[in-house]
Amino acid sequence: MLDDANKPISAPVFNAPVECPVKINFNQGTYTSSGSLAYHQEMEIQYIRKGQGAYFIRDRSYPFHTNSLLVVRPGEIHRLELVPSAYIEKYSFCFAADFLGDHSCLADLPEDSPRLLELTEREAAAAEVIIRNIIEEKEGGQPYWMEIIYSELLRLILLIRRAALRREPLRRENPLINDVMRYIDSNFKQELTLSRLSDCFAVSPSYLSRLFKRCSGLNFKQYLTQRRIAEAKRLLEDDPERKISTIAREVGLPDFALLNRSFKMVTGLTPSEYRKLSSGRMK
């Protein structure tokens, strides 16, 4: 936790020596101003774990939010543009592409490759596992730690390339769906059905279902499940002693088994595995 909510922290996760040309920084805090323009010959990857803002890269601004990943190619001018007083947690990677040796061509992303990627919950969980593995290998200094860091970084690049293939169309704003999502955000801990929503907003369930899918990219059930899992993740992080069965009830799921199954489906991890990962992230 921060002693001063208006004073963000920025700290290297490890001080990488010359023989490990991968630098990772962890930034956390509430920001009141944006950063200055930066320029370097290393590739930079920003993983937004929490928060919102925007990144200016080369010639345009890219709005980001939780579970976003931004890619800055070597030589590109960039600048972090934060929403005033918005809290953010992010990891930044800097590395020379030639560190990947024979696979350095994979880091040379196509010119039209998206700079901003919206990760699924499963992809975000995979990114966090990669980050944790890199940190633990550097701190542990066990045999072949450099080779493992190499393989994990390569894995991250491949995750980026795969996510970049998923070119989703821009979603159109719709006042009704905005109201529906606000309603879900306020009531997801209760029993909530498409029928109940359609009654509340005086539209047919079939119309609401089609509109919801077109505007959000998810069907109603998927969105509700992911919203509940997002809240479960927050509770797992904020209260390490709270029972997982209690968390299940608090996010609108009736029992531990359903939370466990839904959590694994969305993130690729069980709640217990996620809690362990989260507790070891920053000590």
Residues 186, 132 within the same domain: no
Domain-ending residue, one of 164, 194, 221: 164
**Cα 134 to Cα 148: distance, rounded to the nearest angstrom:** 8
Do 26 and 143 belong together in one domain?
yes
Residue 1 within a domain:
no
User: Does residue 182 share a domain with residue 143?
Assistant: no
Separation CA 21–CA 99 (nearest Å) = 7
Most confident of 57-66, 126-135, 232-241: 126-135
Same domain? 78 vs 181: no
Is the residue at 170 inside a domain? no
Are 28 and 158 within one domain?
yes
Is 38 part of any domain? yes
Domain count of the chain?
2
Residue 169 within any structural domain of the chain: no
* Residue 30 Rama label (left phi>0; alpha psi -120 to 50; beta): beta
Contacts of 146 (CB under 8 A, 6+ apart): 19, 20
* Pair (22, 130) in one structural domain: yes
Give the domain CATH number at 59. Answer: 2.60.120.280
Give the three-class secondary structure for 54.
Answer: strand
Please say if the pLDDT value at position 251 is more than 90. Answer: yes
144 and 186 fall within a common domain:
no
Q: Which residue has the higher pLDDT, 47 or 23?
A: 47
Q: What are 8's two structure tokens?
A: 């963000």
Single out the residue in 164, 196, 221 at which a domain terminates. 164
Check: CB of residue 60 under 8 Å from CB of residue 5.
Answer: no
User: Tens digits of per-residue pLDDT, 191-236?
Assistant: 999 999 999 999 999 999 988 887 766 788 888 888 888 888 888 9
**153 and 229 part of one domain:** no
Q: Closest by alpha carbon to 214, among 176, 261, 187, 161?
A: 176
> At which of 135, 164, 193 does a domain end?
164
Report how far residue 251's alpha carbon sits from residue 236's, in angstroms, rounded to the nearest whole number: 11
Residues 147, 187, single domain; the answer is no
- Are 105 and 179 members of one domain? no
Q: With respect to residue 3, please indicate whether it lies within any of the assigned structural domains.
A: no
CA atoms within 13 A on the CB side of 139: 14
Residue 145 and residue 20 share a domain: yes
Adjacency order of strands within the sheet including 68-72: 9-14, 22-30, 87-95, 43-50, 68-72, 116-118
CATH number at 179 reads 1.10.10.60
- pLDDT tens digit sequence for 158-191: 999 998 887 654 445 578 887 888 898 889 999 9
Q: Say how many C-beta atoms besides its own lie within 10 A of residue 119's C-beta.
A: 20
Residue 121: domain span: 9-164
Q: Are 13 and 65 in contact (CB under 8 A)?
A: no
Distance from the Cα of residue 138 to its chain's centroid: 23
Look up the pTM and report it: 0.68
Same domain, 152 and 179: no
**Residue 281 pLDDT grade (very low, low, confident, very high; cuts 50, 70, 90):** low
